Structure 1
Amino acid sequence: MAIAAIRTLVLDCPDPHALAAFYAGLLGGEIRGDTDADWVDLHVGTVQRLSFQRAPGYVPPTWPSADHSQQLHLDLDVDDMEAREEEVLALGAKALDLDDEGGQRNFRVYADPVGHPFCLIRPV
């Protein structure tokens, strides 16, 4: 029997509403929280929620590097890698590693607008 259930996954960032808007564009969902709030929630489908917390002095993770390590990342399934890549880049994502080894590797790595890494994954 589980001791606990996940309530939310929280991402530190300099502007919670702006980062929530990026992830709403990526995942859909409803943003709950004022534009100047220190905490904003994004309610997405069957996932409980993602939350975004203002962190004064925020330092983005570096990937791949031990300095300012990523600490966590999101893996996101997509139906069409090329089309979805174009869309996430248009939302403000930054490409970190697009070498999918000629289609042999089923993922590509990006960073959200404040540097948190995430992967788009082509389900196999």
Structure 2
Amino acid sequence: MALVNAGVVVLDCAEPEKLAEFYKELLEAEEVAANANRVEVRAADGFRLALRRDVNATAPSWPRPENSLQVHLEFVVEDLDAVERRIVSLGGRPMEAGDAGSPLQERGYADPAGHSFTLRHGAPTAPKQG
């Protein structure tokens, strides 16, 4: 038996119920647990995300001057344009676009609470530069 099992990604935010709605819609996920300070959702592929209440939460400052994301979510999609329209309709916002001519197309976004995430067509093949 493994000493450590895969857990869940947890994002702190001021209003977990509202942010859970964003991710439930985006990921076509279901709510699997909730209490006064935390909501957890699970996507059909098993990905789990929890939103935890932090009454003092502030939006992350991304992009940072030193161009360091620190932590962000990454989602693999088939149609970048269609998913972008969905993100915007749910209250998210575009942050940056990758090189359109690149074989590895990716785009950066922020959820309604300001957490960064990336959409991409495939797995990364090299470290982020610059």
TM-score normalised according to structure 1 size? 0.84
Any idea what the Cα deviations from partners look like across 1:47-104, whole Å, max 9, x if unmatched?
Answer: 252111100110111112169x754211101111111111111111111102x32331
**C-alpha separation in 2, matches of 1:120 and 1:106:** 8
> Aligned-pair RMSD on alpha carbons?
2.2
Partner in structure 2 of residue 101 of structure 1 = 99
Give the C-alpha shift of residue 8 in structure 1. Answer: 1.2
Partner in structure 2 of residue 40 of structure 1 = 39
Partner in structure 2 of residue 84 of structure 1 = 83
For 1:1-124, list aligned pairs within 5 A.
Answer: 2-31=2-31, 32-33=33-34, 37-47=36-46, 49-65=48-64, 70-98=69-97, 100-104=98-102, 105-123=104-122
> What amino acid sits opposite 1:12 in the alignment?
D
Partner in structure 1 of residue 126 of structure 2 = none
Question: Normalized per residue, which structure has more helix?
Answer: 1
Give the C-alpha shift of residue 20 in structure 1. Answer: 0.7
TM-score normalised according to structure 2 size? 0.81
**C-alpha separation in 2, matches of 1:85 and 1:14:** 24
Identity across the alignment (%): 35
**C-alpha separation in 2, matches of 1:70 and 1:11:** 15
**C-alpha separation in 1, matches of 2:29 and 2:37:** 19
Q: Are the equivalent residues in 2 in contact too, given 1:107–1:122 (CA < 8 A)?
A: yes
Check 1:66–1:5 CA distance in 2 against 1; reply closer, same or farther (3 A cut): farther
Q: Are the equivalent residues in 2 in contact too, given 1:20–1:41 (CA < 8 A)?
A: yes
Give the C-alpha shift of residue 121 in structure 1. Answer: 0.5
Any idea what the Cα deviations from partners look like across 1:28-50, whole Å, max 9, x if unmatched?
Answer: 1112326xx21111022232521
Q: Are the equivalent residues in 2 in contact too, given 1:60–1:115 (CA < 8 A)?
A: yes
Aligned residues: 120
